[in-house]
Amino acid sequence: MIRIEVDEDRCVAGGQCVMVAPRLFDQREDDGVVVVLEEAPGDDELQDARTAELVCPAAAIRVLVTP
């Protein structure tokens, strides 16, 4: 099982997560802070979730994988 967590307080609204994984992330219109569209994506989304986690300039995204 995959779970995505976001620390909104750390988010700097850079938007890299949205660029690499638009099915998983969006940004609030008023301040650009990340919005998780799919907190528990399928296994086929793991690579995109991990990429978003890695490119986040504020390290605000965490991808957790449990068996």
Which domains, and CATH codes, for the chain? Answer: 2-65 (3.30.70.20)
* Cβ(37)–Cβ(1) below 8 Å: no
Segment (H or E) for 26: strand 25-27
pLDDT for position 67: 86
> What's the CA gap between 38 and 12, in Å, rounded?
20
Q: What is the pTM of this model?
A: 0.94
The mean predicted confidence, pLDDT, of the chain is 97
The whole-number average pLDDT for the span 40-64 is 98
